[in-house]
């Protein structure tokens, strides 16, 4: 353990020891950070290109946006349900061991889906191919977050090492990177499909997955150490550690609360995407969709940058309990906006309110789970966003079809409202386990010992 701590100290210094205020400059000077940030950014683009790539290809071959959306939603739900298992395997066996076969499986699944669509295969075949295409999406974002947590000496309920104040900065940096990815990815996929071939978006997605994923996996020096404990051998403490290592991060009550919170955030993304599209098409100006969504995304990015630059004195729990009600309030007037300028202003406000809740949730989960479950915990939150987004897109589409384009904007309000009730009711579960307290069960709690 001593040698491990020494290595981390040589990799990065805490803001207190260096006399510098936590900020992006110090974060990006962390030794070894760029070796995984650059390939990680490349490997993240496919995540933002997959959904729109499927929609554009399947709509071209079937002539139905409904069918295209259903196939795309199937891939999204499959990804949301399988991502935590990928994260758990990465925690146990190492990120490289999961990524090397994973990117090849994903590229093969995308190739199959593309071929079936171009060959006018039956609808059931497209749905069947969408399942492995979504399930095999490499979870680069959570893996990057896990690397930051390992490099910055993040604490855990069962560990004594204190988390660096740079963890909040890292969470903000990753949130901005995610949002930037979701600005570039759909634009790139749309341009490729429109300018080259309807399948070009998915083909590029598969290629970037292989190249970026393999380059990222090759950076073994910065990946968190795998946590494998052989069960059934050694002392009673070893057996207890093995059993604890095998538990899911979702067994921690606080992770379940945060997953519900992130479902609401996903409802905002999904509801906004579909409702803005319906709104601008109803006006006869579909080109404004990109502008309005860009304003929404810009608000998210600006707030994310600000969150990372601030040296917070309040706890993450307090910040989340403040930020989430503001997000819910910001979504409330969306349905009443009937003019483009007003909707743009409200979209900007919603974007400004999303980032603090999103960043604080990722910061908080790192303190709720031990090192051996970090990647899995991050993937539960990422998967919750994807699941909430898929469900919200479907619900908003149905409301827009049945009651008009503005009705779809009720979905973000309903999603965040339900999540807020859950957050306020179960807020006590977001308090990290004390290092000196023994809990009955859950990942990361200390093993009981006899005392005199």
pTM comes to 0.73
The answer for 42, left when phi > 0, alpha when psi is -120 to 50, beta otherwise, is alpha
Higher pLDDT, 100 or 225: 100
Question: What is d(CA 62, CA 55) in angstroms, rounded to the nearest whole number?
Answer: 10
Sign of the Cα torsion 399, 352, 151, 257 reads negative
Give the pLDDT score at 248.
72
Give the pLDDT score at 416.
95
Domains assigned to the chain: 35-219+244-430 (1.20.1250.20)
- Which one-letter DSSP state was computed for residue 19? T
Q: Are 425 and 230 in contact (CB under 8 A)?
A: no
Higher pLDDT, 154 or 401: 401
**Model confidence at 421, in pLDDT bands (50, 70, 90)?**
very high
Question: What is d(CA 380, CA 260) in angstroms, rounded to the nearest whole number?
Answer: 10
Q: Tens digit of pLDDT for each residue in 8-65?
A: 444 444 444 444 556 777 788 888 788 888 888 888 887 778 877 887 788 788 877 6
Residue 411: CB atoms within 10 Å:
30
Q: Are 16 and 26 in contact (CB under 8 A)?
A: no
Higher pLDDT, 168 or 38: 38
Q: Tens digit of pLDDT for each residue in 216-230?
A: 888 887 877 776 654
| 159 pLDDT higher than 80 | no
Question: What is d(CA 242, CA 445) in angstroms, rounded to the nearest whole number?
Answer: 13
Give the pLDDT score at 332.
93
| 240 pLDDT higher than 60 | no
| 137 pLDDT higher than 90 | no
Higher pLDDT, 190 or 215: 215
- Classify each residue of 282-313 as buried b or exposed e, where b means 16 or more C-beta atoms within 10 Å of its C-beta: eeeeeebbbebbebbbbbbbbbbbebbeeeee
Question: What is d(CA 337, CA 275) in angstroms, rounded to the nearest whole number?
Answer: 12
Higher pLDDT, 189 or 439: 189
Question: What is d(CA 299, CA 447) in angstroms, rounded to the nearest whole number?
Answer: 45
Average pLDDT along the chain = 78
Give the pLDDT score at 302.
86
Contacts within 8 Å (CB) and 24+ apart, 191-199: 193/53, 193/56, 193/57, 193/60, 198/56, 198/57, 198/60, 198/61, 199/57, 199/114, 199/117, 199/118
Sign of the Cα torsion 265, 269, 274, 277 reads positive
Which residues are CB-neighbours of 363 under 8 A, at least 6 positions away? 167, 168, 171, 316
Q: DSSP string covering 71-93, please?
A: HHHHHHHHHHHHHHHHHHHHHHH
Residue range 428-437: mean pLDDT, rounded: 65
């Amino acid at each position: 353990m001593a040698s491990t701590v020494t290595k981390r100290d040589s990799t990065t210094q805490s803001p207190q020891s260096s006399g510098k205020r936590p900020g992006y400059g110090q974060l990006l000077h962390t030794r070894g950070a760029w070796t995984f940030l650059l390939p990680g950014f490349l490997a993240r683009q496919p995540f933002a290109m997959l959904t729109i790539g499927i929609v554009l290809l399947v709509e071209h071959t079937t002539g139905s946006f409904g069918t295209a959306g259903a196939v795309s939603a199937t891939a999204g739900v499959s990804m949301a349900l399988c991502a935590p298992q990928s994260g758990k395997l990465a925690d146990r066996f190492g990120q490289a061991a999961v990524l090397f076969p994973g990117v090849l499986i994903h590229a093969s699944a995308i190739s199959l889906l593309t071929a079936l669509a171009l060959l006018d295969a039956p609808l059931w075949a497209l749905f069947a191919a969408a399942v492995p295409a979504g399930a095999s999406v490499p979870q680069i974002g959570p893996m990057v977050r896990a690397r930051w947590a390992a490099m910055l000496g993040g604490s855990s309920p069962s560990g004594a090492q204190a988390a660096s104040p740079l963890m909040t900065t890292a969470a903000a940096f990753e949130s901005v990177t995610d949002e930037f990815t979701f600005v570039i990815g759909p634009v790139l996929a749309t341009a490729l499909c429109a300018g080259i071939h309807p399948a070009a978006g998915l083909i590029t997605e598969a290629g970037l997955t292989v190249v970026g994923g393999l380059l990222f996996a090759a950076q073994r020096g910065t990946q968190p150490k795998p946590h494998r404990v052989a069960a059934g051998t050694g002392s009673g403490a070893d057996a207890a550690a093995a059993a604890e290592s095998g538990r899911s991060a979702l067994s921690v009550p606080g992770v379940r609360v945060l997953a519900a919170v992130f479902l609401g955030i996903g409802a905002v993304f999904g509801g906004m995407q579909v409702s803005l599209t319906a709104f601008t098409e109803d006006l006869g100006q579909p080109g404004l969709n990109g502008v309005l969504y860009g304003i929404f995304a810009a608000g998210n990015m600006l707030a994310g940058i600000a969150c990372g630059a601030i040296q917070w004195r309040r706890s993450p729990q307090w910040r989340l309990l403040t930020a989430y009600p503001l997000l819910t309030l910001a979504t409330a007037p969306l349905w009443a906006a009937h003019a483009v300028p007003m909707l743009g202003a409200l979209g900007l406000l919603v974007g400004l309110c999303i980032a603090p809740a999103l960043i604080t949730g990722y910061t908080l989960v790192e303190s709720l789970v031990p090192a051996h479950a970090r990647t899995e915990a991050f993937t539960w939150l990422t998967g919750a966003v994807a699941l909430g987004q898929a469900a919200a897109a479907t619900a908003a589409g149905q409301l827009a079809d049945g009651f008009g384009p503005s009705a779809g904007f009720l979905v973000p309000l309903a999603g965040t409202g339900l999540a807020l009730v859950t957050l306020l009711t179960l807020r006590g579960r977001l308090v990290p386990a004390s290092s000196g307290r023994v809990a009955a069960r859950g990942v990361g709690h200390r093993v009981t010992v006899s005392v005199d």
